[in-house]
Amino acid sequence: MAMLTGEYNHQLDAKYRIRIPAKLKKELGKEFYFAKGTDSCIFVYPKEEVEAILEKVKGITLGDPRQRSAREFLKTITPIKEDEQGRLVLSPELRAHIGLEKSDKDLVICGAGSRVEIWSKKSFDAYFNNSPVDYDTIVKNLGI
């Protein structure tokens, strides 16, 4: 099981390519997947997590209202192939999902336990800077 943690600032290159930080890439393994994530980020899953997601939704019947949610989410899961230099291309659809304007290049890549998240710097700052951080409450809410 992957233990993905940490926060890293990165930039897209002119061809919309990124590199996953080495520490996170090691934990992701050789096979990983992009998916549209919540709050305008991209989820990056190791193969084992995608398999667990598929197993979880496998039992949702066609008449179940959750089937539409499963369909919408699962269609966004895409296997990712690195180029020879270890770079990954962010598709126009994924760039739009995270709110990247044509001139935006700044990204934040962070570990989120069993997945990695890719954020535009603007979306990341807007999401995390909207309220003061109270780590006492965070730790209490997490039960750690």
Q: What pLDDT, on the 0 to 100 scale, is given for residue 1? A: 63
Q: What is the mean pLDDT of residues 55-67?
A: 89
Do residues 48 and 114 lie in contact, with contact meaning Cβ atoms separated by under 8 Å? no
Whole-structure pTM value = 0.90
Q: What pLDDT, on the 0 to 100 scale, is given for residue 108? A: 97
**Three-state secondary structure string covering the chain:** CCCECCEEEEECCCCCEECCCHHHHHHHCCCEEEEECHHHEEEEEEHHHHHHHHHHHHCCCCCCCHHHHHHHHHCCCEECCCCCCCCEECCHHHHHHCCCCCCCCEEEEEECECCEEEEEHHHHHHHHCCCCCCHHHHHHHHCC
> Residue 71's closest CA among 60, 85, 82?
60
130 Cβ neighbours under 8 A, 6+ residues apart: none
Q: What is the mean pLDDT of residues 27-50?
A: 95
Q: What pLDDT, on the 0 to 100 scale, is given for residue 103? A: 86
Task: Judge whether residue 144 has pLDDT over 90.
Answer: no
d(CA 9, CA 108): 5
Q: What pLDDT, on the 0 to 100 scale, is given for residue 128? A: 87
Task: Judge whether residue 2 has pLDDT over 80.
Answer: no
Residue 77, Cβ neighbours under 10 Å: how many?
A: 15
Do residues 69 and 53 lie in contact, with contact meaning Cβ atoms separated by under 8 Å? no
Q: What pLDDT, on the 0 to 100 scale, is given for residue 45? A: 97
Q: What is the mean pLDDT of residues 47-70?
A: 91
